[in-house]
Amino acid sequence: MESTLEQKLGHDTTLIEADSIVIRFSGDSGDGMQLTGSQFTDTAAFLGNDLSTFPEYPSEIRAPMGTVAGVSGFQVHFGCKEIFTPGDEYDVVVAMNAAALKVDLPRLKKGGVIIINTAGFDKKNLGLAGFADGVNPLEDGSLDNYIVYKIDVTKHTKDCLASSGLGMKEIERSKNMFVLGVLFWMFDVTMDFTIDFINEKFAKKPEIALANINTLKAGWSYGDHTEIFNTRYKVAPAHLPKGVYRNISGNHATALGLVAAAELSGLPLFLGSYPITPATDILHELSKYKTSNVKTLQAEDEIAGICSAIGASYAGSLAVTTTSGPGMSLKAEAMGLAAILEIPLVIVNVQRGGPSTGLPTKTEQSDLMQAMFGRHGECPLPIVAAASPADCFNTVVEAARIAVEHMTPVICLTDGYIGNGSEPWRFPAAADLKPFKAVFTTENNNPGGAFLPYKRDEKLVRPWVKPGTKGLTHRIGGLEKQDGTGNVSHDPINHEIMTNLRAAKIEKIADYIPLAKPDSGDDNGKIVVLGWGSTSGAIKTAVRELIAEGYDVAHVHLRHMNPFPKNLGELLSAYEHILIPEMNCGQLVQLIRAKYLLPAVGYSKVQGLPFTTSELKNKILEIIK
């Protein structure tokens, strides 16, 4: 594969150099589209492209085959420029069956490429996809505006593996590799990374490894030798900052952030968690880190997940519970306990569409108000939100820092979009991360008298005492406690004092977080787009494009949702318009309006899907024009 591009072109093929390309791999849940997509992604990443991915799959593990409900998609946006979103529209769609085409055609650019597995377009599949009897999109001219490559992937895979000795089922499973081979050829990228991956994955099953590699190569050769393709693409490496990179998903970054936070705080890590989509990958990942002294407890339910973490925190661990919306609801009472105990705890909510079971595999930002207010009694908690897959790392480290330094449970919001999505990450060196060593109290803070577990320091923070500490035995609990002594108290004035102290302690965190500043644009002007969480990439792209087009637009993005940065009200009031896009019905916009009495305008999307850049650009222009 060391031949020149011209030699490789071989036949009459046009080479298109593109800044960025969006490919959508789409097929049945069992077609291996997630693997195909992630292999293409890894290869693009190794070759120096910036990228962003968006896996999208049904909540059924194997939804009915061939149906629209069963379509599993993997979207990758890669380019030679900075990429902040998985892309609004597709340049290329791989449709393994008729249902996949039906789902993904609407977002394919006019003139875009469709690679069709014709075996997925027989009468049965057309029927399952809901095409009327006798209608076949491959034949009725409905695809005339696109470049369509029809390949009988199933047949070619079978031919390729006829003598492999594998059964039909194994052969069928290899067909995604054929498609991947075609795409590698089409984008002129090496197969080497995927071949290494296959050899590693199937180290114990060499016959399966060989079958996959042969099919992959067959796909490449098919592109190279058949003359049906008349277009190839070349995407140059991106000009990313120098350094060493890896690809990372948000859930993986969250897990690594927690391991790092444990080291930075000098505490052992304890995770109490119950499996729930789309947060479970954090539990999976942390379960592997035995050599980092990470203890994971798969609890009997969500409540036990947080309660075991409360117990571990009480015993002196950096304690964490991870979940998604329904689990947050179940954990609410225990969060109140942790708040009144005033012990450190990190609660990660990988948000999904709600209410109730809602859209388990789709994304949403609709738990902000729950994080703010979703507990009984006056129970404010600090909240941080991650902006991108890699940003989950910094955000969860920040959550742990606040928890340990301010003796409080902290809610860390991510969501399904960035939890499952991935991007290249210029990971930090351990030495460059700032430690926040936990301090345990071992001496009586009230010499001559009884130890005062609720005596506060200048941050209004009480001491953390590990059971096992001689001379400081004391009891804590969920009943209201007397200021200082921590003894049970039902005194009316004391309750008010304690309620205010707990709130003031959280407010005071604002003294220990960075001020807000624009991510793009000036610190005053016509309009500011205020975002939080996973809308970052789309807002950043939209705002930067508009600035490049000459508009007066700025973007401020919040990591700290409670308390807000101290200057936020002042900063926002320097703009004529404030637009707050959210994947909910307008939650941050209510908080901003209530707190600062500013006429912020919301822009909602609750489709289980992230904003597109063009949606945001149109909305911004609508306001300022």
Partner 1 sequence: MTTIAEQEVTPKLVAKDFASSMEVKWCPGCGDYSILKQVQTVLPDFGIPKEDLVFISGIGCGARFTYYMDAYGMHSIHGRAAAIASGVKGANPDLSVWVISGDGDALSIGGNHFIHLMRKNFDVNYLVFNNQIYGLTKGQYSPTSEKGKVSKSSPYGSVEEPFNPSELALGAKSSFVARSMDRDPKHLQMVLKRAHEHKGTSFVEIYQNCAVFNDGAFFAYSDKETKKEKALFVEQGKPLIFGNTEDKGIKLDGVTPVIVNLKDDGVSVNDLWIHDEQDKTKAHILASFFDTLYNGVEFPRPFGVFYSEDRPTYEVEMQNQIDNQIARKGKTSLDKILSGDKTWTIL
Nearest CA to 88 among 617, 553, 477, 483?
617
The span of 145-153, 424-432, 511-519, 542-550 binding partner 1 (CB under 8 A) equals: 424-432
The span of 103-111, 179-187, 352-360, 427-435 binding partner 1 (CB under 8 A) equals: 427-435
According to DSSP, residue 314 is labeled H
User: Which pairs count as long-range contacts for 597-600, CB under 8 Å and 24+ apart, including other chains?
Assistant: 598/569, 598/572, 598/573, 600/530, 600/572
Report if residue 245 touches partner 1, rule: CB under 8 A. yes
Report if residue 241 touches partner 1, rule: CB under 8 A. yes
Identified binder of partner 1 from the candidate list 106, 134, 167, 471, rule CB under 8 A = 471
Residue 215, class by beta-carbon neighbours within 10 Å (0-12 exposed, 13-18 middle, 19+ buried)? buried
DSSP bridge partners of 235: 18
Instruction: Pick between residue 301 and residue 549 the one whose CB is nearest to partner 1.
Output: 301
Angstrom distance (rounded) from CA 463 to CA 448: 18
Yes or no: say if 507 and 549 are a contact pair by the CB < 8 Å rule: no
Identified binder of partner 1 from the candidate list 35, 476, 501, 510, rule CB under 8 A = 476
Report if residue 113 touches partner 1, rule: CB under 8 A. no
Report if residue 599 touches partner 1, rule: CB under 8 A. no
Identified binder of partner 1 from the candidate list 81, 150, 459, 474, rule CB under 8 A = 474
Cis, bond preceding 435 (omega within 30 deg of 0): no
CB of 246 vs partner 1, minimal distance in Å: 5
Yes or no: say if 176 and 31 are a contact pair by the CB < 8 Å rule: yes
- At residue 316, φ and ψ (nearest 5 deg) are 105, 20
CB of 188 vs partner 1, minimal distance in Å: 18
**Integer distance in angstroms from the first to the last C-alpha of the chain?**
53
Report if residue 466 touches partner 1, rule: CB under 8 A. yes
Q: Is 456 helix (H, G, I), strand (E, B) or coil?
A: coil
Instruction: Pick between residue 39 and residue 612 the one whose CB is nearest to partner 1.
Output: 39
Which residues lie closer than 8 Å to 515 by C-beta, 6 or more apart? 565, 566, 567
Instruction: Pick between residue 184 and residue 289 the one whose CB is nearest to partner 1.
Output: 289
Q: Is 67 helix (H, G, I), strand (E, B) or coil?
A: coil
Q: Which two tokens stand for residue 350?
A: 């990988």
Instruction: Pick between residue 441 and residue 590 the one whose CB is nearest to partner 1.
Output: 441
Longest alpha-carbon distance in the chain: 92
Angstrom distance (rounded) from CA 140 to CA 249: 40
CB of 84 vs partner 1, minimal distance in Å: 17
Instruction: Pick between residue 214 and residue 249 the one whose CB is nearest to partner 1.
Output: 249
Instruction: Pick between residue 341 and residue 460 the one whose CB is nearest to partner 1.
Output: 341
With the C-alpha atoms ordered 124, 129, 132, 137, is the resulting torsion angle positive or negative?
Answer: negative
The span of 99-107, 259-267, 495-503, 532-540 binding partner 1 (CB under 8 A) equals: 259-267
Report if residue 297 touches partner 1, rule: CB under 8 A. yes
Residues 314-373 that bind partner 1 (CB under 8 A): 314-317, 319, 333-334, 336-337, 341
Instruction: Pick between residue 314 and residue 454 the one whose CB is nearest to partner 1.
Output: 314
Q: Are strands 147-151 and 108-117 parallel, antiparallel or unpaired?
A: parallel
Identified binder of partner 1 from the candidate list 427, 547, 604, 609, rule CB under 8 A = 427
Report if residue 295 touches partner 1, rule: CB under 8 A. yes
Identified binder of partner 1 from the candidate list 1, 228, 488, 597, rule CB under 8 A = 488
With the C-alpha atoms ordered 161, 166, 171, 176, is the resulting torsion angle positive or negative?
Answer: negative
Binding-site size, partner 1 (CB under 8 A): 71
Identified binder of partner 1 from the candidate list 26, 313, 370, 612, rule CB under 8 A = 313
Got the DSSP string for 379-423?
----EEE--STTHHHHHHHHHHHHHHHHTSEEEEEEEHHHHH-EE
User: Tokens 């936070």 correspond to what residue?
Assistant: 261
Instruction: Pick between residue 240 and residue 624 the one whose CB is nearest to partner 1.
Output: 240
Identified binder of partner 1 from the candidate list 213, 304, 412, 572, rule CB under 8 A = 304
Instruction: Pick between residue 320 and residue 588 the one whose CB is nearest to partner 1.
Output: 320
Binding mask 16-55 for partner 1 (x = CB under 8 A): --------------------------x--xx-x-------
Residues 262-281 that bind partner 1 (CB under 8 A): 263, 268, 270, 272
Instruction: Pick between residue 6 and residue 432 the one whose CB is nearest to partner 1.
Output: 432
CB of 349 vs partner 1, minimal distance in Å: 19
Residues 211-240 that bind partner 1 (CB under 8 A): 237, 240
Residues in the chain: 625
User: Tokens 């409905």 correspond to what residue?
Assistant: 142
Instruction: Pick between residue 45 and residue 119 the one whose CB is nearest to partner 1.
Output: 45
DSSP bridge partners of 385: 413
CB of 248 vs partner 1, minimal distance in Å: 8
Identified binder of partner 1 from the candidate list 477, 549, 570, 585, rule CB under 8 A = 477
